[in-house]
Amino acid sequence: MDPLISTDDLMAALAEQAPPTLLDVRWSLLGPPGRDAYEAGHLPGAVFVDLDAELASEPGPAGRHPLPEPGDFEAVLRRAGVDADRPVVVYDADNGSAAARAWWLLRWAGHREVAVLDGGYAAWTAEGRPTTTEQPQPAEGGFRVQPGSMPVVDADGAAQLAREGTLLDARAPERYRGDVEPMDPRAGHVPGALNAPFAAHVDDTGKWRSPEELAAHFTALGVGTGGAVGAYCGSGVTACSVLLALEHAGVTDPQHPAALYAGSWSNWSADPDRPAATGEEAG
């Protein structure tokens, strides 16, 4: 299944007898809460899932958005009506960076049919497609979380990827360089990591770039020349956008996905014994 779905294809799928389960995961690092946007309007049938509270565990030494406990995540998905034999479509406000976190987690949990709405809620409403403020009450789903279907690395694994493979840093260039650090204990990046900002995956409208464009983008970074690939960001959210882009571009595939450093910079920078590189170069 392609990791992206167009507004046209979603509209057609929603008209079928067994439509996909819709999850609204609108979120912004600095707020306001995504639930406010959901309550103001959302796709018909969509259930809101809170990224901070339901797509992550409590922040701590493991990072600002540690992976959720499997049992807790299963309860969230069942409440939303998720079943193993029914496709799931997730969307956020526009560029897919938050929706990619839900996409990745569902894949990690063993769901085989998950897609992100290309262009998100912005594209849907710009085309005059239906929205509602009615909040559905879906029947409880039966999905069973079986974690481990997507690879995860810890700090040591990320350091190894940076040395022996390719480790991509999804943050904005100024955070990668260490010019600024608004969230975490120290500035800089994992030594050896390459900057691959998640904003480069979409155009000015929030639509994802073509597989060909993304493949060229990653080739220019040196991805695909052999060796393992992984990604990180500030806390493990927007790095999932890199993982989706790699798959959409055909650089990786569902049988050989890139790895997520789940703790990301929030985990790495909290350990004073781990080095931090600065500047434009991988370090």
Classify strands 114-117 and 88-91 as parallel, antiparallel or unpaired: parallel
* Averaged pLDDT, 11-19: 96
Do 184 and 221 lie in one domain? The reply is yes
- Within-domain flag for 210: yes
Which pLDDT does position 232 carry in this prediction?
Answer: 98
* Averaged pLDDT, 10-17: 96
What tokens were used for 164? 């022996």
Q: Is the pLDDT of residue 224 over 80?
A: no
Catalytic residue status for 233: yes
- Within-domain flag for 145: no
Closest CA to 269 of 166, 193, 217: 193
Q: What is the CATH number of the domain that holds 36?
A: 3.40.250.10
Show the 3-state SS of 171-230: CCHHHHHCCCCCCCCCCCECCCCEECCHHHHECCCCCECCHHHHHHHHHHHCCCCCCCEE
43, 115, 233, 237: the active-site residue: 233
Q: Is the pLDDT of residue 254 over 90?
A: no
Instruction: Please tell me whether residue 108 adopts helix, strand or coil conformation.
Output: helix
Contact (CB, 8 A) for 252 and 218: no
Total number of domains constituting the chain = 2
Do 42 and 97 lie in one domain? The reply is yes
Which pLDDT does position 274 carry in this prediction?
Answer: 97
Classify strands 21-24 and 152-153 as parallel, antiparallel or unpaired: unpaired
- Within-domain flag for 163: yes
- Within-domain flag for 134: no
The range of the structural domain enclosing residue 218 comes to 152-268
- Within-domain flag for 78: yes
> What pLDDT band is residue 226 in, cutting at 50, 70 and 90?
low
Residue 5 sits at φ, ψ, to 5 deg, of -135, 135
Do 99 and 184 lie in one domain? The reply is no
CA distance 58 to 75: 16
- Within-domain flag for 144: no
Do 63 and 113 lie in one domain? The reply is yes
Q: Is the pLDDT of residue 32 over 90?
A: no
Do 88 and 31 lie in one domain? The reply is yes
Instruction: Please tell me whether residue 5 adopts helix, strand or coil conformation.
Output: strand
193-212 residue pLDDT tens: 999 999 999 999 899 999 99
55-96 residue pLDDT tens: 999 999 999 999 999 999 999 999 999 999 999 999 999 999
- Within-domain flag for 213: yes
Do 250 and 177 lie in one domain? The reply is yes
Do 249 and 156 lie in one domain? The reply is yes
Do 182 and 119 lie in one domain? The reply is no
- Within-domain flag for 179: yes
Q: Is the pLDDT of residue 225 over 70?
A: no
Do 156 and 262 lie in one domain? The reply is yes
Which pLDDT does position 30 carry in this prediction?
Answer: 82
Q: Is the pLDDT of residue 129 over 70?
A: yes
